[in-house]
Structure 1
Amino acid sequence: MSTIDTQELSRVGGNGRSSADVLEIYSANLMPTFGMPKRVFVRGEGCYVWDVEGRKHLDLLSGLAVNALGHAHPTVLAAITSQLSTLGHVSNFFATPAQVALAERLTGLIPGDAETRVFFANSGTEANEAAFKITRRTGRTKIISTEGAFHGRSTGALAVTHSPKYREPFEPLPGEVIFVPYGDADALAAAIDDTVAAVVLEPIQGENGVVVPPPDYLAQARALCDQAGSLLWIDEVQTGMGRTGSWLVHTDQGVRADIVTVAKGLGNGFPIGACLATGPAATLLGPGSHGSTFGGNPVAAIAGLAVMAVIERDGLLANATAMGEHLAAAIQDLDHPLITGTRGRGLLQAILLAEPAAQQAADAALEAGFVINAPRPDVLRLAPPLIITADQLDTFVAALPAILEAAS
């Protein structure tokens, strides 16, 4: 049998082609759902990525809060390689030790004596789709979501996502969904009653520009759901798995959720999502009511176990908190006229701008060797790997004034 060169399998990135060459092939073969990429990356190590021309960038976005341990982490790489060489996929007609171990690890994150069960998916959107179906099993159809919410692009997840630009091209969407102002417990109280199946909330709104609600907001939502007999569905897809300095924001605040969704940082780049349901909600999906061909496959499961083990072993929850505080303080100390403040928790941080120059700033940052993004016209988002150091963050802060000057 002849040897297959893996470089040849990915020849557009491994044959010395320029970015322009690769992007020409990209535009001819991929659906234009993401627009034209601004870089072609070919290698990553730790907190850095290199493009096809060999330029080095500090990754302060982590693939949209996914690469919690950075790139090519040796523990995750070893775990995935070992598992794939042993057993890669068997479908959910069968169980695997890795799948069961990760389920047990995740249910252990939920405090209390109530039974918690997991449905494994391949993304945050899929995890939220499972959660949406759980709410349907209550016998009620009304869901309360919030203005500025983002929960995914599938039809169920999109139904509880607020942005008209995402929703309107695909309406009518399923469900009777009511949107109330985020962080406003009084507005939630006015909307909820005993016809509401669930209230879905992000502990921090990531895609809306890292919006942090009042400290007691989730607890008030829990109390209102209890009064109405409604499920509390917490979307921790972006905030969970150590991103904000704790495994889950809502449990760190002492709040009990009926449904919790996680993804992104759980697999460190290997696709995985999970929907956790607790108490009566844990048994609402029975045999045949939902499924996934790839969800919980042993390779994805072992990746999740490796990520959680490293976060715990290396004290990365504490590092996320410390580095988030360091970053916010250093940015504020710049006292730059274009910066009006920062907000966030742990290593999910936003830089607030005095004018709508965020996209220009993100482009200028990329030219300067830093990967960030602009979720809103006047907001920059940073979600670096949890392994980031103060020295690495300081290189960005030192470059920030010039980045902002270029943007404005």
Structure 2
Amino acid sequence: MSFDLKGLVETHLKEASALYAEHVNPRFARAMGLIGFDRRFVRARGAYLWDEQGRRYLDMLAGYGVFNIGRHHPVVGQALKDFMALQLPSLVQMDLPVLVGLAARELKKRAGFDMAHVYFGSTGAEANETAIKFARKTTGKARILHATSAFHGLTTGALALNGSKIFREGFGPFTPTDQVPFGDLDALKAALSKGDVAAFFVEPIQGKGVHIPPPGYLAEASRLCHQHGALFVVDEVQTGVGRTGRFLALHHEEGVEPDMILMSKALSGGYVPVSAVLMKKPVYDAVFSSLERSVVHSSTFGKSNFAATAVLATLAVLDEEGLTERAARLGALLKDRLAAMVDRYEFLHAVRGRGLMIAIDFGPPKSLKLKAAWKTVHALSRDLFCQAITIPLLEDHGMLTQVAGHGMNTIKLIPPLVISEEDVNDFVKAFEAVMDSLHRFPGPAWESLLRIARNAGSMKARAS
């Protein structure tokens, strides 16, 4: 019996949307169709995607930050081929896999902060679930703090730390948590002062909206946690592996003392689901406190030599190609060129970011005609306006982008770190053209939005 992957894809490619709608998620398929994102991509390499017509797209989304080293990097691909050719064992479970140990050593060395041990899992959500469990065991306390606008995953425990109502609605009750404003040390201190907090979970730069805390916030937050007997847990799932111009976003600030660092997404070059919880010795000793309890927490795929191979090869690529430094340089270039447009366009309010993690904020205009357009679109849907940017960027310019979060007038750029200066120039030109079109009302961009709104309303009516 043979399995023909190429033939399978070629035979069924044209029915991809229908297959997904029938067997996976019909409402998501409809949403993608409404905004013209139901493309059939057939090839991917580096920072680019190609559709079935051979059109090339610049990927400014990178799988939500998975492909830091680009898609299908040949070094990682070859390492995994070598693994299979050597028929190396993986997931024996009753063994001590060498490549897993090497991957843990590399992560500890790069992270710093005197991390003692590494627990491997499969996803960022699993890393957060693990850290919740470890924090409770270490401190003997139950309550967890998280920040407004936080995103730590969508499994039940991680969902309790989610700052967005739309993700939480209907899935409670949750594990005991409290929310504090991101960047507000007084609020954090007040919440910690009750003495019942196991840990404060925080992203060093928030993924939803690319919110950057004030200088010194992370260091003082870690000090306050330790003063009140709580752990300081840093979620680097999206910000890690060079994304912000340092290996970890934590490395931008002095004096931070994390107890656990959580990583995933870009850790394997996008080839294998893998996550890591780096922890200080007191956390490890509290959880794995004896020989009998040495397996008190584990994951079926946590001892994967195959995943560890991808991690090691990804880290080697990051070094050899200088991608962390590249993220800092090209991120600054892209941010500065976009920020220079703020005074030219009424809808464009702010640009912020660090490395190749950039947010573009939009807001109400000053002129009466554009104000009317803004109010009309927002009356129809809070999520509609940014599609006037993402749709033409994709359709007219071959640039894949997306909104930063539900109900936000923000577009987030998290491209692969392998993008070139030419790619930056191309994106800036495309964005400028879209801004020019958007500031003409009435015009094609606004007509497209209203058509989407009408179609969405019609679908909603039929569904009800």
- Normalised by the length of structure 1, the TM-score is 0.93
1:172 correspondence with 2:173:
yes
Partner Cα distance (1:297, 1:71) in 2: 21
Q: CA deviation at 1:285?
A: 2.6
Partner Cα distance (2:423, 2:89) in 1: 36
Greater C-alpha radius of gyration = 2
Could you tell me which of 4, 25, 33 is aligned with 1:31? 25
Alignment of 1:109-258 (within 5 A): 109-112=110-113, 114=114, 116-137=116-137, 138-174=139-175, 176-193=176-193, 194-207=195-208, 209-254=209-254, 255-258=256-259
Q: Secondary structure at the match of 2:146?
A: strand
Aligned match of 1:360:
388
Change (3 A) 1:92 1:285: farther
Contact 1:336–1:401 (Cα < 8 Å) also in 2: no
Contact 2:90–2:303 (Cα < 8 Å) also in 1: no
Aligned match of 2:358:
349
Greater fraction of residues in helix:
2
Partner Cα distance (2:196, 2:184) in 1: 20
Partner Cα distance (1:237, 1:64) in 2: 10
Bigger shift: residues 146-155 or 39-48: 39-48
Change (3 A) 1:246 1:296: farther
Partner Cα distance (2:213, 2:228) in 1: 22
Q: CA deviation at 1:360?
A: 2.8
Partner Cα distance (2:260, 2:12) in 1: 48
Q: CA deviation at 1:72?
A: 1.4
Contact 2:17–2:29 (Cα < 8 Å) also in 1: no
Aligned match of 2:79:
79
Contact 1:115–1:282 (Cα < 8 Å) also in 2: no
Give aligned pairs, total: 399
Partner Cα distance (2:88, 2:392) in 1: 45
Q: CA deviation at 1:4?
A: 3.2
Aligned match of 2:305:
298
Aligned match of 1:275:
277
Partner Cα distance (1:179, 1:393) in 2: 37
Partner Cα distance (2:333, 2:2) in 1: 50
* Structural RMSD (CA): 1.8
Partner Cα distance (2:129, 2:197) in 1: 18
Q: CA deviation at 1:88?
A: 5.7
Q: CA deviation at 1:354?
A: 2.2
Contact 1:124–1:152 (Cα < 8 Å) also in 2: yes
Aligned match of 1:369:
398
Partner Cα distance (1:224, 1:80) in 2: 44
1:398 correspondence with 2:429:
yes
Q: CA deviation at 1:330?
A: 1.3
Contact 1:272–1:296 (Cα < 8 Å) also in 2: no
Partner Cα distance (2:54, 2:390) in 1: 20
Aligned match of 2:373:
none
Change (3 A) 1:104 1:380: same
Partner Cα distance (2:303, 2:363) in 1: 44
Contact 1:148–1:163 (Cα < 8 Å) also in 2: yes
Aligned match of 2:322:
315
Partner Cα distance (1:14, 1:48) in 2: 20
Q: CA deviation at 1:386?
A: 0.9
Question: In structure 1, what residue type is equivalent to 2:69?
Answer: L
Q: CA deviation at 1:374?
A: 0.3
Partner Cα distance (1:282, 1:110) in 2: 17
Aligned match of 1:57:
57
Question: In structure 1, what residue type is equivalent to 2:217?
Answer: Y
Partner Cα distance (1:31, 1:56) in 2: 27
1:339 correspondence with 2:341:
no
Q: Secondary structure at the match of 2:42?
A: strand
Q: CA deviation at 1:94?
A: 2.0
Q: Secondary structure at the match of 1:397?
A: helix
Aligned match of 2:461:
none
Contact 2:180–2:187 (Cα < 8 Å) also in 1: yes
Partner Cα distance (1:154, 1:5) in 2: 35
Question: In structure 1, what residue type is equivalent to 2:332?
Answer: E
Question: In structure 1, what residue type is equivalent to 2:350?
Answer: G
- Normalised by the length of structure 2, the TM-score is 0.82
Aligned match of 2:70:
70
